[in-house]
């Protein structure tokens, strides 16, 4: 289980360091469940960037080589009618660790891409480089037992 809270303010598009007057408090409460075999399910409930409230269900699989493939669906009380409807936000994502395929190192640990509908306003979370769960999930007992030989190498 985890939580996240962010206070954000939109940048002014015409200035380098200016802000628009609109600020937003966004965040969620998340429940994580690892099922074994690299399967992870996540349910998030909270407030999104447009001020709408809703929930996201996310399922993903981490393969032995570190690649993660997943999908998600988000329902919220917001509406994107002016952008083509109010259907749920849904999509697929793929994360590939660079250390397995690029032996020279570098500042990035992985490369991610997302396949989804056109950009929407409702149901959008703040995009961050790394979430707390990603950093601490490797410290649980099941993960340590599974990856112990790789840790010792």
Outline where DSSP puts E strands in 12-133.
19-36, 39-47, 53-62, 68-76, 89-97, 110-116
The strand pairing partners of 30, in sequence order, are 2, 44
**Domain ranges (residues) in the chain:** 2-152
User: Over 70: is that where the pLDDT of 86 sits?
Assistant: no
Are 12 and 23 contacting, i.e. CB atoms less than 8 angstroms apart?
Answer: no
The whole-number average pLDDT for the span 25-51 is: 92
pLDDT for residue 59: 98
The length of the chain in residues reads: 153
What tokens appear for 42 in the block? 């996540």
Task: Determine the Cα angle at 110 with ends 2 and 7, to 5°.
Answer: 40
pLDDT for residue 104: 72
Are 132 and 1 contacting, i.e. CB atoms less than 8 angstroms apart?
Answer: no
CA distance 54 to 29: 11
CA distance 41 to 1: 12
pLDDT for residue 128: 75
pLDDT for residue 126: 78
What tokens appear for 34 in the block? 């690892």
pLDDT in tens, 91-137: 999 999 887 777 776 666 788 898 987 666 678 887 777 677 776 76
> Which of 24, 32, 35, 31 minimizes the C-alpha distance to 45?
31
The strand pairing partners of 116, in sequence order, are 91
């Amino acid at each position: 289980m985890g939580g996240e809270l962010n206070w954000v303010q939109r940048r002014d598009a015409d200035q380098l360091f200016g802000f628009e007057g609109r600020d937003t408090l966004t965040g969620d409460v998340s429940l994580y469940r690892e099922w074994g075999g690299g399967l992870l399910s996540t349910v998030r409930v909270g407030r999104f960037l447009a001020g709408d409230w809703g929930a996201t269900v996310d399922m993903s699989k981490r393969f032995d080589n570190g690649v993660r493939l997943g999908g998600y669906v988000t329902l919220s009380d917001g509406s994107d009618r002016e952008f083509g409807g109010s259907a749920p936000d849904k999509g697929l994502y793929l994360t590939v660790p660079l250390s397995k395929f690029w032996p020279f190192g570098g500042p990035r640990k992985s490369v991610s891409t997302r396949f989804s509908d056109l950009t929407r306003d409702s149901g959008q979370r703040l995009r961050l480089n790394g979430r707390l769960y990603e950093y601490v999930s490797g410290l649980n007992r099941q993960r340590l037992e599974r990856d112990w030989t790789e840790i010792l190498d």
